[in-house]
Amino acid sequence: MSRDPTLESSTPIHVGLSLNTGEVAAGCLGNERRMDYTVLGDTINTASRLEEIAEPDQIVMGPETASAVAGVVNIRKIRSFKLRGKKEPMKVFEVLYQVHCD
């Protein structure tokens, strides 16, 4: 299979990602002119706060997600963070992996 040369780039993209586990409200919101599928709730808000602390090339997650992937994904606890809008600090974990930029 040949690679599409239009997809090649000499500049890697470095982004931070977050994962969080929990209940959400999901569905279509909007009106007749514009309708979007979205998710809402504290789980989503927490994921957004986690993304704010993620460094480039880092995947961070909350404790529920870390518990769910333990033994399958190589993770480690970073430390507890006081996330915006939260009363108590949250234990934050990161995925351990190596970035390969060829």
Per-residue pLDDT of the chain in tens (102 residues, 90 and over written 9): 566 666 666 777 889 999 999 999 999 988 989 999 999 999 999 999 999 999 999 999 999 999 999 999 999 999 999 999 899 999 999 999 876 665
Cα torsion for 69, 75, 76, 82, to the nearest 10°? Answer: -60
DSSP string, 35-96: EEEEEESHHHHHHHHHHHHPPTT-EEE-HHHHHHHBTTB-EEEEEEE--TT-SS-EEEEEE-
Distance of CA 79 to the CA centre of its chain: 17
pTM of the model: 0.78
Q: What span, in angstroms and rounded, lies between the C-alpha atoms of 4 and 13?
A: 18
